[in-house]
Chain A
Amino acid sequence: MSALLILVPFFSVLILNLPLKGIRKLAFGGAICLSLLQMAAVFIPDAAFWKINPHAFGSIFSFELSADSLSKVILFCIGLVSFSALFATRQTLKDSAGRFNFINIILIAVAGMNGVALAQDIFSLYIYLEITAISSFILIAFNRDILGLEGAFKYILLSGVATVLMLAGIALFMLIAGSTSFAVIHAVLLNHNKDFLISLGIGLFIVALFIKSGLMPFHGWLPDAYTAAPAAASVLLAGVVTKIAGVYVLIRILVSVISFSPAIKSILLLVGALSAILAAIAALTQSDFKRMLSYSSISQVGYIILGVGSGSVLGIAGAALHIFNHAAFKSLLFLNSAAVECQLGSRDIEEMGGLAKQMPVTSLTSIIGSLSCAGIPPLAGFWSKLVIVIALWMAGFRAYAVIAVLGSILTLTYFLILQRKVFFGKPNAEFKDIKEAGFSLTFPALILAALIIGAGIFTPFILNRFILSFNSIFGG
């Protein structure tokens, strides 16, 4: 039954495009309903819902779907962020035909991401990744302005190279295991001695995922793509797309297929620490609102990778919790940047100032988002960073735990700079007639802010259930 999460968005795209009168008006409401239903579906406790017959789809390669607690966290994030992105389209895309197309592509991207979250074999994982990637290329270049096209081209080229590396890894796994299913490859890799081809395949796969998640030596495309994309597309990309295409797949492959080794751990920790620190320093020097948030995104992904690199259940649970928190606060901050850009027509933070009075809702929600991102208690971001630091300390990587704390201070620094330049400080006379952004940008921002505060206060309860259930992904 979990296949419904993939099939329903696909079929709703088909139905919305039937030549029927008035059906296009249903697109927005229908897509919002789908995202709400998806968030509700995560809480279905019935185990039968989450398993399907592995041979239901064909005979040649088994096409398995199943979900554990990690996939459910991801599915919830997809629902949440697509909900916010859909609302953002209402104000940022004025043309109704264009908005209809945009919503269709968001639905295809959601179907692809749900597939990535549920896939249990390495090849269908690749297909769903490509569906997600191709729809995000179109979303970035959607306005057909030159910046969007440039950002999209850079993303296409690097994502293409990552795809090639990933396929080469898949081919090598297939050569050794003779199958593409996670379980079979895992069993073969456990019994096989570490020979050259296996190490090569694992290396190619991990580098491909580093490119896809935009980690520091391979980050070139990410700030360009996020900055150039239309506002609603940035919300979707920064909130979930790259987190799923890169980080989630990395966790899934490490847990279900490759399993941790000391070499993999040290590579992950090195790359994670590099991204967490260098991207935060790069964010300090930016003057473009969205570009600063993009570098912040790289830095937070570095945190997630540090959590994964600790190799313990606690670290993975902290990483998953941080993926969820990141989806909440980064889509909130991108919604705020969309609100500011919509009202001012500019993204240059040097020009702004004193907007707190004119845009009270945007200002308040962005403070909550920034503080959560910087890890200030009792907001949600604090808990996930705490879990990651504790996991690093307990696993014996104490230097990296210290680096993680330092990165958090840098995060606080650039967000304080951002807040001071945009919402506080001296008002710019040029922008004195600015009003608050419309309902469709402030409403999802308020919901996300409430979620961040709520998740922060109730984290001790969530964490208990969460970490207990995370033991199962190693056992399964």
Chain B
Amino acid sequence: MLSAIFVVLLFIIGIYCIMASYNLVRALIGLEILIKAVTLLIIAAGAKSGHLHLAQALVITVIVVEVVMITVAVGVVVGIHIYNNSLDVRKVRRLKG
């Protein structure tokens, strides 16, 4: 039950972080917090249903995939910073229509 509360809490923090901030890096941090919430949820689900070994295998894979994704994302953010000289989301508005 406790872990369920924490999962929901982390979800809310992550979504708030993505929605409320105007900084590209903070948006990625929000995404990371969301993934942490899901990681916790998988472990909690494994513990509750008695399949902790399965949950462990899944969580390690999720962490590896997440690291790769965030590396690519940070590379893209660095590229945007080179052009815009700022990390403001409001300047990422060239594509419209």
Contact = CB atoms under 8 A, between A and B. Distances in A.
B34 A161 contact: yes
Interface string B72-94: 11011101100110000000101
A144 interface: yes
A223 B53 CA distance: 42
12 contacts: A146-B80, A146-B84, A156-B69, A161-B31, A163-B69, A171-B44, A174-B54, A175-B45, A175-B49, A179-B51, A224-B95, A228-B95
Nearest to A135: B72
Nearest to A286: B97
A294 to B, nearest CB: 10
Contacts of B45: 171-172, 174-175
A144 B76 CA distance: 8
B58 interface: yes
A23 B54 CA distance: 41
Nearest to B46: A174
Contacts of B75: 141
B58 A61 contact: yes
Contact of B50 (A60, A127, A151, A178): A178
A257 interface: no
A164 B76 contact: no
Contact of A153 (B18, B58, B80): B80
B72 A156 contact: yes
Given A134-B68, A134-B69, A223 B76 contact: no
The 10 closest A-B pairs by CB, nearest first: A175-B45, A224-B95, A146-B83, A167-B38, A149-B79, A171-B41, A164-B34, A171-B42, A171-B45, A160-B31
Interface in B25-84: 27, 31, 34-35, 37-38, 41-42, 44-46, 48-51, 53-55, 57-58, 61-62, 65, 68-69, 72-73, 75-77, 79-80, 83-84
A93 interface: no
A176 interface: yes
A168 B41 contact: yes
A202 B74 CA distance: 31
A146 B84 CA distance: 9
A436 interface: no
A141 B42 contact: no
Interface SS majority for chain B: helix
A150 B80 contact: yes
Contact-residue bracket for chain A: 35 or more
Nearest to A282: B97
A153 B94 CA distance: 13
A424 B62 CA distance: 52
A341 interface: no
A160 B49 contact: no
Given A161-B31, A164-B34, A174 B55 contact: yes
A130 interface: yes
A178 B42 CA distance: 11
B58 A123 contact: yes
Given A60-B57, A61-B57, A144-B79, A175 B65 contact: no
A160 B49 CA distance: 27
B77 A153 contact: yes
Interface in A117-165: 123, 127, 130, 133-134, 137-138, 141, 144, 146-147, 149-154, 156-157, 160-161, 163-164
Given A127-B65, A138-B72, A175-B48, A150 B54 contact: no
Nearest to A285: B97
Contacts of A326: none
Contacts of A157: 18, 27, 31
Contacts of B73: 137, 153, 156, 160
Contact of A147 (B57, B68, B72, B94): B94
Contacts of B27: 157
B89 to A, nearest CB: 9
B49 A174 contact: yes
Contacts of B54: 60-61, 174, 178-180
A160 B92 contact: no
A153 B83 CA distance: 14
A60 to B, nearest CB: 5
Contacts of B58: 61, 123, 170, 174, 180
Given A147-B95, A149-B80, A160 B42 contact: no
Nearest to A123: B58
A228 B93 CA distance: 13
